[in-house]
Amino acid sequence: MRWNSEERAFAVEAYFSSGCSVIATQRAFRNRFNLAPLAPVPDRKSIVTWVTTFRQTASATKRRTGVPRPVRSPENIEAVRASMLRSPRRSARKHASALRLSDRSVRRILRDDLHFHPYKMAIRIRRYGSDLWTINADLGRRITAIEVHEYQDSNTEIRNAMKAKKIDPR
């Protein structure tokens, strides 16, 4: 079971105040958090691990190891924005490769930070007949599937460029 920081801190305090007794710590934990008699409480190994961690780092929670690598930094967000505006027809995977970022990170930046939606459909697709896909566009004419993608790509590029430059299309 996962225990939150408050519960871990209380367990460490109770351990030291009870004279380093795990059983007394478990009883105090059950009383403090109003747990039922058969409800799970931290086991011996968890309490000892938290106490050891507290003695080493002055914190009951684990520290993250290694160098923090913030991928969604303002510099990377601006680099992705500039790259997308420079060549909007290039795929997100190729942008990621050129920027030396992971594909998933570039897609996350595009979606969450820049609010670009590369495959968002702006029009409705209807099926007529057996193989012909058509679209009711503003002009009321029928467009084949090949033209659908061209229409979608051009609208998406325009919409993404407007969002990048913070221009309201209305």
Residue by residue, pLDDT tens for the chain (170 residues) are: 788 889 999 999 999 999 999 999 999 999 999 999 889 999 999 999 999 988 888 887 777 777 777 888 999 999 999 998 888 888 889 999 999 999 999 999 988 888 887 665 444 444 444 444 444 444 444 444 444 444 444 556 656 665 655 555 55
Can you tell me the distance from the alpha carbon of 86 to that of 104, in angstroms, rounded to the nearest whole number? 20
Cα separation, 101 vs 79, whole angstroms: 11
Phi, psi (deg, nearest 5) at residue 148: -60, -50
Model pLDDT, residue 163: 61
**Residue 67's CB: how many other CB atoms inside 10 A?**
5
Contact predicate 137/126, CB 8 Å:
no
Beta-ladder partners of 132: 128
3 state SS of 62: coil
Q: Which residue has the tokens 């007394």?
A: 24
Q: What is the pLDDT of residue 66?
A: 76
Supply the pLDDT for residue 139: 41
Helices and strands, number each (H, E), in the chain: 7, 2
In this predicted structure, what is the pLDDT of residue 167? Answer: 53
CB 4 within 8 A of CB 18: no
pLDDT at 169: 52
Per-residue pLDDT at 151 = 47
Q: How many CA atoms lie within 13 A of 89 on its CB side?
A: 3
What is the value of pTM for the model shown? 0.41
DSSP string, 1-45: ----HHHHHHHHHHHHHTTS-HHHHHHHHHHHTT--TTS----HH
- Only one residue has tokens 């002009």, namely 139
Query: Residue 160: what pLDDT?
Result: 62
